[in-house]
């Protein structure tokens, strides 16, 4: 039996809009979340690939997981079968994208079980086919992913502390895979790659030059841009809930008062991710309200 673990990641410059094979329409930048991981085990099985704990997932999600395993096996001409077990150290219902950590862990585990000797870059590339954002989980603490693949991003500020404001833990009505398709119907999508690229340059510079407040503004504008795409798609949709807006108002008020605070971002969901610097140890979610 082979067991492998992979972390999740949170994007500050978002991957939103893709083409065939989960190729992103724009470059993204993420911070790797080592405290949130998935562990996948593969045990040889004589007859067929089986997902042992498939009942914990939707049928579609379970099939997608097994399809990725089949994709990797085909890539390496492997004809055996496995029983797959997957476990997160955070609940699926926590509202944290678990596809990044789970597909990264499955890719790592399958490569090892099959005996494929491949580089981290190749593993990341293979993982992208399962779920785009998972290709960023192979590089830490920062990862940039563009048309040349994912790689470690050289950013001076490290050891950020992640906190999650959990607003909704139910399964979302529009999956992120569906959102990637929907945003292309938005009239705002035309300039999206350019806006994301400009923010990427500005954010990396701000983080490297310790301009934290500038980084906060760029990240805020970036998630607002992605959510504006959702709001202007046809048909339009939204993940933002009244509680999300309440917390965003509180965070912004905190920033205006203290001229300092956390970096904030929201994925395709209602929950709010915070990143704090090392010297902000005394600050936590309750400090904000």
- Our CB check for ligand DP6 shows the closer of 104 and 206 to be 104
Contact region for ligand DP6 (CB under 6 A) — 115-123, 126-134, 208-216, 253-261?
Answer: 126-134
Instruction: Find the shortest distance in angstroms from Cβ 123 to ligand DP6.
Output: 16
CB of 117 to ligand DP6, least distance (A): 26
Q: Are strands 149-152 and 272-276 parallel, antiparallel or unpaired?
A: unpaired
The residue number whose beta carbon is nearest to ligand DP6 equals 132
For residue 180, give the 3-state DSSP assignment: helix
CA gap 236, 234 in Å, rounded: 5
In sequence order, what are the residues at sequence separation of 6 or more whose Cβ sits closer than 8 angstroms to the Cβ of residue 284? 163
Rounded to 10°, the helix 120-130/99-114 angle is: 120
Q: Give the residue, chosen from 4, 6, 11, 229, that forms a contact with ligand DP6 under the rule CB under 6 A.
A: 11
Minimum distance from residue 79 beta carbon to ligand DP6 (Å): 27
Candidate residues 4, 8, 15, 111; the one interacting with ligand DP6 per rule CB under 6 A = 15
Got the DSSP string for 210-246? T-HHHHHHHHHHHHHHHHHHHHTSSS------HHHHH
Check binding of 200 to ligand DP6 (CB under 6 A). no
List the one residue from 32, 99, 101, 137 that touches ligand DP6 (CB under 6 A): 99
Contact 121, 149 (CB under 8 A): yes
Distance of closest approach, residue 22 Cβ to ligand DP6, in angstroms: 4
Q: Is 17 in the site for ligand DP6 (CB under 6 A)?
A: no
Q: Quick check: 26 binds ligand DP6 (CB under 6 A)?
A: no
The span from the CA of 38 to the CA of 112, in Å, is 16
- Per-residue binding string, ligand DP6, 68-97, x by CB under 6 A, is -----------------------------x
**Cα 56 to the chain's mean position, in Å?**
20
- Please count the residues of this chain forming the interface with ligand DP6, following the rule CB under 6 A: 16
Binding residues among 228-267 for ligand DP6 as defined by CB under 6 A: 267
Task: Provide the pairing of β-strand 23-24 with 18-19.
Answer: antiparallel
Q: Is 28 in the site for ligand DP6 (CB under 6 A)?
A: yes
Query: And the tokens for 89?
Result: 């150290």
Residue length of the chain? 289
Question: 269, exposed or middle or buried, with CB in 10 Å at 0-12, 13-18, 19+?
Answer: buried
Interface with ligand DP6 includes 32 (CB under 6 A)?
A: no
Is residue 180 within the footprint of ligand DP6 (CB under 6 A)?
yes
Q: By the criterion CB under 6 A, which residues form the site for ligand DP6? A: 11, 14-16, 22, 28, 97, 99, 131-133, 176-177, 180, 267-268
């Amino acid at each position: 039996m082979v067991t492998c673990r992979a972390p999740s990641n949170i994007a500050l410059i978002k991957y939103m809009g893709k083409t065939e094979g989960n190729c992103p329409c724009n470059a993204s930048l993420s911070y790797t979340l080592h405290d949130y991981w998935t562990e996948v085990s593969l045990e040889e099985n004589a007859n067929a690939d089986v997902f042992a704990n498939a009942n914990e997932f939707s049928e579609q999600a379970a099939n997608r997981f097994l399809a990725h395993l089949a994709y990797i096996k085909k890539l390496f001409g492997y004809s055996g079968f496995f029983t797959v077990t997957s476990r997160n150290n955070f609940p699926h219902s926590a509202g944290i994208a678990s596809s990044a950590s789970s597909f990264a862990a499955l890719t790592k585990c399958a490569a090892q079980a099959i005996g494929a000797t491949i580089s981290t870059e190749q593993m990341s590339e293979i993982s992208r086919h399962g779920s785009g954002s998972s290709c960023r989980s192979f590089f830490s603490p920062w990862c940039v992913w563009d048309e040349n693949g994912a790689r470690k991003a050289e950013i001076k500020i490290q050891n950020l502390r992640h906190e999650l404001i959990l607003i909704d833990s139910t399964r979302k009505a529009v999956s992120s895979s569906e959102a990637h398709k929907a945003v292309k119907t938005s009239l705002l999508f035309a300039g999206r790659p350019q806006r994301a690229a400009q923010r990427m340059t500005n954010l990396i510079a701000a983080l490297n030059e310790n301009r934290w407040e500038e980084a906060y503004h760029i990240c805020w504008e970036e998630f607002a841009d992605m959510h504006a795409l959702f709001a202007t798609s046809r048909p339009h949709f939204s993940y933002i809930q009244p509680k999300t807006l309440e917390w965003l108002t509180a965070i912004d008020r905190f920033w205006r008062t203290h001229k300092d605070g956390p970096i904030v971002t929201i994925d395709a969901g209602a929950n709010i991710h915070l990143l704090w610097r090392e010297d902000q140890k005394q600050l936590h979610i309750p400090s904000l309200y």
